[in-house]
A and B are shown apart, each in its own frame.
Chain A
């Protein structure tokens, strides 16, 4: 299978703290229609890696070396307008807490519409039909009313589904999901995992799943990269990692899961 996203020797440093390395020589690939889990504890640099792909790093951080190649295009060398086409249109992002990631002053429908306005050429009526279709696809009831609702009027699980609907709206090829289930209870987590599996098979897109939850990784991912203190300490298929962890840090993570 072809590689959709190739990350080579990605290094991210904090400029003001003696170039302390937050992400150190990270290398991995995301295959076409593959799901890669990026696993690690808090502060391991997994979210920073995800943000670096879309050029969304905090101004205090900078990529000092490496390549991020998406469909043959080096995103680190892309111009501002080029990378804005990639953001959303090619690579969607799902955030940990959709209550914060949705703008509270706009309705759900408006915010999905904004995505479609920018990344597609659809007319107003087509966009609305597409929004209803998307909300239905992610399993939200009564989409007609939902598009007029504001983020605070939805429950946590519904918001996360709406966020997924927004991310897949312009048919991206890759979705970066940053801890998509951390703020949900266990039953909702399971349903969101099912939803990810569904959109992956139906839309044939790749997912980069950033999480600390090895259990979720075992259910969903094809391959897993385990990160610790900015380094990838172990990379392999999900089965290998879950059934036979090699590195001590991975074993610790597995141990934490069994508690």
Chain B
């Protein structure tokens, strides 16, 4: 070796380069970033709290924000909302042109705690009290759908992350232990994993949910759902990690790690599992959508997050009737958010797999 430093690109740098060439994936990363930012600052970005309701405005259509006042450009404003009933007693909302409410930035409104600590009343935007603004419409109780989507994203997006974290911790440990020891330990752990995998996911979800007391409050339900989803999710990963560990444990560095006196647990965690990292990273990305959909499915059929708390799933439960979708199509918007979140995670996961898996890459190009 010469005196000149020999520095090659690390595997991580190479992966990053491949990944950053994928424009679609970068765009999806941006989308996810915005969604998570929206979740973190939900109370600041939304004009109303998730439970701020006004039943006069049940299923009020999106409020039009006007930029022109009698043809002249103006600061954006909304008109008041007038409610009439037609001959079929259907609600008809019209603009009350006599009342004008300018859109205010940094407006004082419902009190909340910014980032969970700082009590504050300032919202990014909104209109003064008698006026109401529904950016994408209202739900059955006259709550702002846009605000509820932002609040709901907190539940829907965090369940994916926490659920994946728990189930991957279990999956990696079980797979690592199973693959490293082999023999009877392997047999028992893998049969347990297969028993979990044997039951179709959704029915297992329902069965486990039925085992949880029905009088849980929302926070308890939230954690119950996470635990249930993690319980279902670990098995598949454990099987794959086990397979990788079976081959990794024969490598000489495992013998070397043993020869310096490390305990079995340290050998598994510090010397074997890091070799499964590139697989784990994209497997995490690709399995997050499953958790988001799992939560949505439970909430949709009323077994998950309960009203008045919002999650994308329980907001969609309103949209299970075709009549409602026909007359109030905006109640489907939470579904659109689920859709772009799931798509984004899948695209990013796929791109990560391309970037991290050199075997796949050479096959793809060759």
Contact = CB atoms under 8 A, between A and B. Distances in A.
Q: Does B bind A?
A: yes
Interface of A: 54, 56, 59, 84-89, 92-93, 95, 97, 100-106, 114-115, 118-119, 141-142, 145, 153-155, 158, 166
A114 B253 contact: no
Contacts of A87: 258-261
B240 interface: no
A158 B256 contact: no
A102 B253 CA distance: 5
23 contacts: A56-B258, A56-B259, A85-B261, A87-B260, A87-B261, A88-B260, A89-B261, A93-B259, A93-B260, A101-B252, A102-B256, A103-B257, A105-B274, A105-B275, A114-B262, A114-B270, A118-B261, A118-B262, A119-B260, A119-B261, A155-B1, A158-B1, A166-B260
Contacts of A54: 259
A145 B5 contact: yes
Contacts of B275: 105
A26 to B, nearest CB: 20
Interface in B239-282: 251-253, 255-263, 270-271, 274-275, 277
B107 to A, nearest CB: 52
A100 B5 contact: no
Contacts of B336: none
A236 to B, nearest CB: 29
Interface of B: 1, 3, 5-6, 8, 183, 251-253, 255-263, 270-271, 274-275, 277
Contacts of B183: 59
A212 B274 CA distance: 35
Contacts of A105: 274-275, 277
B62 to A, nearest CB: 53
A100 B253 contact: yes
B8 A93 contact: no
Nearest to B182: A59
Contacts of B256: 93, 95, 101-103
Nearest to B259: A93
A64 B302 CA distance: 64
A145 B6 CA distance: 10
Q: Which of B1, B275, B277 has the most CB of A within 10 A?
A: B1
Given A59-B183, A118-B260, A118-B261, 11 more contacts: A84-B263, A85-B261, A93-B256, A93-B259, A95-B255, A100-B252, A100-B253, A102-B256, A103-B253, A105-B274, A115-B260
